[in-house]
Structure formats: structure tokens, C-alpha cells
Amino acid sequence: MYGAIALVVIGVILLLVWLTRPNQPLGVLFATETPTATLTFTPTNTSVPSETPTITPTGTATITSTPSEPFDYIIQEGDSLDAIAQRFNLGEDGILLILDENPKIVNDNNGVIFVGETIRIPPPGRTRSTSTPIPNLPRGTKIEYRVLPGDTLAGIAVRFNSLEQDIIDENNIENANALQVGQVLQIPVNLVTATATLPSTSTPITPTAAAGQPTATKAAGGSASTPAATCDFQENTSFVTQLQTLINDERTSKDLSALSVNAQLAAAAKAHAVDMLCNNYLAHEGSDGSTPESRVEDQGFNASLVVEDLYAAPVNVGDPQSAFDWWMSNPASQADLLNTNTTVFGVAYVSSEESMLGGYFVVIMAK
């Protein structure tokens, strides 16, 4: 009996195994271990768009060489109105044109510009209606002029063929040395002849320094005959003596030796003063190309060192004290007056109401 039961059980098991195979009716009812497919990624040669940078024009304004309208400019370190005017080719009246375009420079800043400040620059070619007097304007015609940094009344008078005293009277000026940058003056033009009448042996010299301004230089050698007087002039021995005293008092106060008066140096100083007076200029180089050293040599003085200082101002303005103060306020000329190597000097003063600059002081110091 047990054997029969065992055979039945075995038969049932075998039947079930057969019926549950995958291809048999009951096979679909039971899960089988089906191998899982492995996904293999095959790289493809699909092109990917590259990131090519695109240059987009910015909004920065580029100043062309010939702008037709005013444009903005930012003040840089080291800028000056004169340098800006030259950079943008604004011509002789460039500073005035900039001030016209930017009145705040004068009204708010008293003529001072600041780094980082934006100003308007006029286009090249623009002119001012009152920039330069027309040569055929009637004598005494008045034009407006705005004072620039460094201007003097005498220099303005020279520029417009005017007279300093007439400018003072026209504008009720109390202190000729206290002009303000941006100040507007009424200038009566063409009161004097634009070109001085010179002797046939002289070469016209354009004034190289405004009247009333000190100049100083060491002589650079050369030889030329000293020109003779070519116009009427007046001398003032009192002015000469006062200036000699002022210079020597200043030297002794600084524990320096006083200078001795030398007739040859005085003659050389007078010759150059007369040349400048008659030929309407202010410069160390004479109208004939002479130098301080050559003029001293022409007077028979053998020098190892020559120093010359000049000062010019209208007769009613210039005096020994004003000349001395100008020189002492200028480091170069102050160094000349206090030069420890000089031992002798000559002083001259000549003047003429007909001269464009009025009166001339010349001091020559030598060793």
C-alpha cells in the first residue's frame, strides 16, 4: 500500500512539472528567471552646436577726428584747459571756447577743473565772435575778452594792440595785479600800431613774455654788437639806486655778500633795455640775436658767470619795488638775485610813453 501511494505521489509530481513548463498550459502562471538584457550605450557622432562668442558693439562713444557737435570729455589726471584745447585742436582761443561751453568752470569752480569731472568740448573749427580783433577795426573799438589763467593787463594790451591804462580806465580796475580768471573785460582795440617800426638792421621780435612778468636765464654765449638807441626814452637814476639797494639789502639779510656796482655791466643792461623799449619786446635774446653774455663781452667785461633778469610794466605801474617783488616771487629769478657766485652787478631803467610795454628794468649780475 505504501508503495502504491508513493507511486501516485511521484506521478502527480511529474505531471505538475510537465504542466508547468514554459510551453505548457500552466507555464504562464509561474514566473521564470528570464535573463535581463544589458543596455549598452553606443556613442554617436551627433554634432553639438559650439558656443561661438558674438561681438556686440557697446554703447561707448568714439570721438572722431572731426566731430561736428560738442561732445563729453572726462577730466584725466594731469589735464589742464590748455592741454585739452591742444589735444582737440581748438586753436588759439581753445581755452575760451571750453569756458564758453562750460560756464560752471568759472561760475562754480573759479576756473579750476577736477579729475573725473565731465565737461563739454566744442568741435574743432568753432570760433568766438570776439576772439581776435579784426585788423581794420576802427581805433578804440571795444570788444569783450574773458581773462585766462596767467593773463596780465599788459599782456592783454599787447595782444589786442591796446594800452593798459585804457583797459584800466574802461573797466574801472583798481588793482591791475588782481585779475580774476573768467573776468570779462571791455578792450579798446588797435590803439597802437600792431608792428613796431624798426631800423633796417633790426629783426622784428615777437614778445615772448607778457609785460609785468619776470624772466630769468643764464647766458648761453654768443657774440653780437649791441644795438644803438632807435627811439626817444627817459632814464630814472633814482629807480636804479632804489633797485640796487633792494637787491643788496635782501642779500645781506640772507648772510650773502653785497654786490658792487660795475659800469660795464650797467652799460650792457642799459643797451638791452633800450633795445627792448624801442622794439617792443621782452626777451633775453636781443633784436640782433645778442645774448646777455655777448652784450657783457661787448662792453669789455670778461665774465665767468652772467645772470640777467628782466621786468617790464607801464610807467605809472612799474617801480623798483614791483620789479623786485616779481623777481622774489619767482623761484628762478630769486635764485639769480641771491646767487652766491656773483660779485658785481649793473642795473638800468628806461621808459617811454610810446613804448607798448612802458618801462623796462634790466639787472645783470656777473662774476
Per-residue pLDDT tens over the stretch 105-159: 877 776 678 888 999 999 887 776 544 444 456 777 787 787 776 678 887 887 7
Residue 133 φ/ψ, nearest 5 degrees:
-65, 140
Q: What pLDDT score was predicted for residue 127?
A: 76
Dihedral of CA atoms 124, 125, 126, 130 in degrees, nearest 10, equals 130
Q: What pLDDT score was predicted for residue 112?
A: 77
Mean pLDDT, residues 55-84: 70
Q: What pLDDT score was predicted for residue 226?
A: 40
Q: What pLDDT score was predicted for residue 22?
A: 63
Give the chain's mean pLDDT.
76
**Which of 83-92, 207-216, 225-234, 271-280 is the most confident on average?**
271-280
Maximum pairwise Cα distance, the chain: 173
Q: What pLDDT score was predicted for residue 228?
A: 45
pTM summary value: 0.43
**Which of 30-34, 257-261, 316-320 is the most confident on average?**
257-261
Which helix or strand (DSSP H or E) is residue 144 part of? strand 142-146
Q: Is 146 within 8 Å of 182 (Cβ atoms)?
A: yes
Grid coordinates given for 194: 600792431
3 state DSSP class of 80? coil
Q: What pLDDT score was predicted for residue 338?
A: 94
β 142-146/234-235 pair status: unpaired
Q: What pLDDT score was predicted for residue 73?
A: 92
Q: What pLDDT score was predicted for residue 132?
A: 45
In tens, the pLDDT along 321-333 reads 989 998 998 888 8
Rounded distance between C-alpha atoms, residue 95 and residue 225, angstroms: 41
DSSP single-letter state for residue 34: P
